[in-house]
Amino acid sequence: MFAYLVRRLLVMVPTLLAISAIVFTIIQLPPGDYLSTLIAELQSQGEAANLERIEFLRQQYGLDRTPVEQYFHWLFGLLHGDLGWSFEYNLPVSHVIGDRLLLSFLVAFVTVIFTYAVAFPIGIYSATHQYSWGDYGLTLLGFLGLATPSFLLALVMLYLANIWFGTSIGGLMDPEYIDQPMSWGKFASVLEHLWIPVIVIGTSGTAAMIRRLRANLLDELQKQYVTTARAKGLPPRRALLKYPLRMSLNPFISDIGDLLPHMISGAAIVSVVMSLPTNGPMLLSALRSQDMYLAGSFLMIEAVLIVVGVFLSDLALAALDPRIRLHGGATK
Amino acid sequence: MNRLFYPVRATYGDYARAAVGLLFTLGPALAIGQWSHAHWLLLPLACLFAVFAFRTWQRARTVVEWDDTGLSISGGGRASLPWSGVVSLKLAFYATGRDRTGGWMQLTLRGNGAKVRADSGAENFPAFAARCAAAAQAKGLALDPATRANFASLGIRLAGDAA
């Protein structure tokens, strides 16, 4: 296992280097830079741009250097923990994303818990009661959840929460707590608002997970070892939980790689609709305005989380299911 | 007396991996100079690659000898284990690709307070695996399904396997 861990860690290094180069190249691909976008915006509003000042800023931000120089400057900064400078906010990137990162993580984490807590019992029930009224009813609910656009559900939920519970529209807290330090009042306000985005973001994921868990579990339950276990008198609950459920969870462990980046920038459209102070809308805005270090940092954080997520899921799978699938013998 | 050992060429790859790992972790850690957050990540990783290099060196010196009574290890550590003292046996497969097309096997044998590990890069690995499987069966040890499947892929049939 140790050798496996080292090999997987080693694969991560060139992967991350390649991703960093691709991310930087893609951010550089649109013509111009943040300052030329700014000039165009000022001119479209009929304002004159101070070209000398623009040139000074271009030198100041290092935008006059070659892309290769800029890339290595950025990469070396990342190693120092310096994510660069946000042109749009005129602040270090780490300051800009710091608070939002925590709220994004909170929303995503609670959403994941909600998804698992709702999907697992329903998925297991649907598989073990196939073609019953309960299964049909839950399947209908699942398809409704999959088919309903999240932004539409967001608007409906905001309206209902305001009418029924008096919760203020949008955001993750009442307006008086915005930009205030953390307190019990602020925490309670966040909790009061949190359930709406959690349900909105989690609904489609929950429905998808119910369908997949039901299908995986049905496949496992029809295998001979389950029949044998039942024939030998193993209690039904144990015959379900011991191997079939465990085996049907393998795809979910593989999904950890996709889950982690969603903690940072998932559900950007819903966040825009609901005015959530999370990272998704900020990433969209940074990409639009070519705020290259801010956008690049978001994308790099996501890439790191994907690579780490895949690494963790591979380790978990190797530990849970260390089984050869091919019969070509063992080589090193 | 049969012998299991690691040919020098079988360890080149792991030495190279350790060297590349150290280059990409210790290198930037030294280049950064003054202490920063990155050191908290880079230095533990560098230690991990250093331990890997040491274990590779230790493995390259390891020789496992066995006969009908038991096995003994020399070189990278010393231990002996009679076949009658085996208490657990596990054969795992570590895939290097997600489709499990490449990878290696690792056999872990425990008993008498000793733990013996051998991987499929060693000379005589299939013969050693077959002898360990025979010892485990003679003692009536329960083998998990993954271990059974991996033995089957080596062409080693165990009692209770489907024909």
Give the largest Cα separation in chain A, rounded: 85
Claim to verify: residue A183 and residue A109 sit in the same structural domain: yes
A169: contact with B, CB 8 A cutoff? no
DSSP H or E segment with residue A218: helix A184-221
A224 in contact with B, Cβ within 8 Å: no
Do A227 and A258 fall into the same domain?
yes
Q: Which residue of A has its CA nearest to B126?
A: A330
CA distance readout (Å), A253 to A62, A229, B54? 43, 25, 32
CA separation, residue A23 to residues A20, A28, A144, A181, B158 (Å): 5, 9, 37, 34, 52
Listed in order, strand segments (DSSP E) in chain A are 85-86, 91-92
Residues of B in contact with A1 (CB under 8 A): 92, 94, 106
Q: Does A1 touch chain B (CB under 8 A)?
A: yes
User: B63-153 has which fold?
Assistant: PH-domain like (2.30.29)
Are A330 and B122 spatial neighbours (Cβ–Cβ below 8 Å)? Answer: no
Query: Measured in whole angstroms, how far is the alpha carbon of residue B71 from the centre of its chain?
Result: 16
> Measuring CA to CA, which residue among A304, A254, A324, A257 is closest to residue B96?
A324
Nearest to B121 by CA among B133, B101, B111, B106: B106
What is the pLDDT, as a whole number, of residue B138?
Answer: 87
Predicted confidence at residue B99, as pLDDT, reads 63
Flag whether residue A6 sits within 8 Å of chain B, measured between CB atoms. yes
Q: Which residue in B49, B100, B125 is closest to A324 by CB distance?
A: B100
Classify residue A249 as left (phi > 0), alpha (psi -120 to 50) or beta.
alpha
When scoring B94, B100, B101 by the number of chain A Cβ atoms within 10 A, the one with the most, hence best to mutate, is B94
Interface contact flag, B149 A324, Cβ < 8 Å: yes
* pLDDT attached to residue A326: 43
* Residues 48 through 107 of chain A touching chain B, CB cutoff 8 Å: 79-81
Chain A with chain B: Cβ pairs closer than 8 A: 93
Instruction: Please give the residue range of the domain that contains residue A55.
Output: 33-82
Query: Is residue A332 assigned to a domain?
Result: no
Contact status of A9 with chain B (Cβ, < 8 Å) = yes
Question: Residues A205-248: pLDDT tens digits?
Answer: 888 888 888 998 998 888 887 888 888 888 888 888 877 887 78
A3 touches chain B (CB under 8 A): yes
CA distance B139 to B159: 12
Predicted local confidence at residue B51, as pLDDT: 92
DSSP per-residue letters across B30-58: HHH-S--HHHHHHHHHHHHHHHHHHHHHH
For residue B92, CA distances in Å to A11, A57, B129, B130 come to 21, 59, 12, 14
Give Dmax over CA atoms of chain B in angstroms: 64
Cross-chain residue pair B48–A9, CB shorter than 8 Å:
yes
Residues of chain B with pLDDT below 50 are none
Could you say which of A2, A3, A9 has the minimum Cβ distance to residue B45? Answer: A9
Q: Domain coordinates of chain B in residue numbers?
A: 2-60, 63-153
> Does the distance separating the beta carbons of A330 and B153 come in below 8 Å?
yes
Q: Pull the structure tokens for residue B51.
A: 């331990």
How far, in Å, CA of A277 to CA of A232, rounded? 56
> Domains in chain A: how many in total?
2
- As a whole number of angstroms, the distance between CA A215 and CA A14 comes to 37
Residues A87 and A149: their CA atoms lie apart, in Å, by 34
A332 in B contact zone (CB under 8 Å): yes
Q: Is A219 domain-assigned? A: yes
Same domain, A160 and A63: no
Indicate whether this model's pTM tops 0.90: no
Residues of chain A below pLDDT 50 = 325-332
Whether residue A171 lies inside any domain: the answer is yes
The predicted structure's pLDDT at residue A330: 41
Task: Return d(Cα A127, Cα A122) in angstroms, integer.
Answer: 9
- Nearest neighbour of B101 by CB, restricted to A2, A323, A326: A326
Q: Could you tell me if A78 and A155 lie in one domain?
A: no
**CATH code of the domain containing A310:** 1.10.3720.10
